[in-house]
């Protein structure tokens, strides 16, 4: 089995979680919008930032430094 860096695993988890919540908002499915049943629903903008931050973590450092910076700036709070 190939070694997967911690950052890639965290990035994949962020993209999966954020994408699931965004899908829940688009399909108006309340269970997908909440991370756990007792939690407050995640806001769509937060889910989008999760996807952007996860995407930045998934990009290889040597090949896409410029793309990482753009994604990080998009995910940064204004």
Where along the chain do its domains lie? 6-75
Spatial separation of the C-alpha atoms in residues 16 and 66, rounded to whole Å: 23
Residue 15 has a pLDDT of 93
Tell me which DSSP letter residue 61 carries. Answer: T
Select from 74, 52, 56 the least CA-distant residue to 64. Answer: 56
**CB-CB contact of 18 with 51 (8 Å):** yes
Confirm if 56 and 49 have CB atoms less than 8 A apart: no
Phi first, then psi, for residue 59 (nearest 5°) are -75, 135
Which pLDDT does position 6 carry in this prediction? 82
pLDDT of residue 48: 93
Give the whole-angstrom CA distance, residue 50 versus residue 44. Answer: 10
Confidence of residue 2 (pLDDT cuts 50, 70, 90): low
Tens digits of residue pLDDT in 13-72: 999 999 999 999 999 998 899 888 888 999 999 999 999 888 888 876 545 566 667 667
pLDDT confidence of residue 1: 41
């Amino acid at each position: 089995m190939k070694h997967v860096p911690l950052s890639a695993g965290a990035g994949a988890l962020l993209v999966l979680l954020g994408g699931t919540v965004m899908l829940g908002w688009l399909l108006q499915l309340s269970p997908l919008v909440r991370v756990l049943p007792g939690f407050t629903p995640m806001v769509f903008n937060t889910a989008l930032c999760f996807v952007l931050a996860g995407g930045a973590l998934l990009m290889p450092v040597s090949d896409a430094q410029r793309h990482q910076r753009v994604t990080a700036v998009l995910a940064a709070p204004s």
